[in-house]
Amino acid sequence: METLFTKIINKEIPADIIFEDDLSLVFKDINPQAPTHLLIIPKKPIPKLSDASEEDKELLGHLMWVAGEVARDLGLDETFRLVTNNGAKAGQSVFHLHLHLLSGRPLQWPPG
């Protein structure tokens, strides 16, 4: 199933891309919830985290590594939050697995 994120991966629609490699893409969220709000997505279409299989373990770890690498590159390595929503009731609106990297303002707990 093609999603908005698939179209971004395929360069069919523009995005403010921060990082890209063979497995992942990082771009700015168009509706930011913090001064820095990036989306980290796998190029492999996985609808949500609970749909990931055992074969996706390395890819999931890679996404976490990418988050840290991007945070270091942007000077955020000490203060950021990663969030993933799993399913519509959890707030997921695009059904292509993605991590939200949020930074640049105080982040409260609990988050929601």
Domain boundaries, the chain: 4-103
Q: Is 100 a catalytic residue?
A: no
Query: Tell me: the pLDDT tens digits for 19-47?
Result: 999 999 999 999 999 999 999 999 999 99
Catalytic option among 37, 62, 98, 100 = 98
Grade residue 11 by pLDDT with cuts at 50, 70 and 90. very high
Query: Tell me: the pLDDT tens digits for 65-99?
Result: 999 999 999 999 789 999 999 999 999 999 999 99
The predicted structure's pLDDT at residue 111? 78
- DSSP-derived secondary structure for 29-85: -SS-SSSEEEEEEESS--SSGGG--GGGHHHHHHHHHHHHHHHHHTT-TTS-EEE--
d(CA 34, CA 105): 6
d(CA 53, CA 41): 16
Grade residue 112 by pLDDT with cuts at 50, 70 and 90. low
Is pTM beyond 0.85? Reply is yes
CATH topology of domain 4-103: HIT family, subunit A (3.30.428)
Neighbour tally for 112: CB within 10 Å: 8
